Amino acid sequence: MSLAAVAVLTATVAAAQNLDAGKSPAKLFADGCTTCHRSPRGLAKGRFTLTLSWFLKDHYATSSDSAKVLAAYLVSVDAPPPGAAAKPAKKPARSIPHQPKPVQSQ
């Protein structure tokens, strides 16, 4: 009987806690990803938020909520900075070919 009481008390005390609850997406990245990644930019690589959150949940995040928040953050920083796509690359200047002067007949 006492063994059952200890088991019940231990189970309630050892209930799973989400250590990521309430953390900002930047904090989640800083706590869990900076060991391998310098920056969050480019990690989403054009993936959809849903598939990225599934991947993070299966491999890195402690809960589906933190995976969703982190995926949305990675997708948001994956976009190019404003104005970067608007500026076309400059082409090198080409010299204009000169036309030969017409020969004057005498």
pLDDT score for 28:
87
Residue 59 domain boundaries: 25-78
State the Cα torsion 48-50-54-57 to the nearest 10°.
110
Q: In sequence order, which residues have a C-beta less than 8 Å from that of residue 42 and are 6 or more positions away?
A: 78
pLDDT score for 75:
92
Angle, vertex CA 9, rays to CA 5 and CA 15, nearest 5: 145
Q: For the chain, what is the domain count?
A: 1
Q: Is residue 49 domain-resident? A: yes
Percentage above 90 pLDDT, the chain: 25
pLDDT band at 14 (very low <50, low <70, confident <90, very high): low
Q: Is residue 33 domain-resident? A: yes
d(CA 17, CA 106): 101
46 in Cβ contact with 78 (< 8 Å): yes
Q: Is residue 2 domain-resident? A: no
Q: Is residue 97 domain-resident? A: no
Tens digits of per-residue pLDDT, 49-96?
Answer: 999 999 999 998 888 999 999 999 999 998 666 665 555 556 666 666
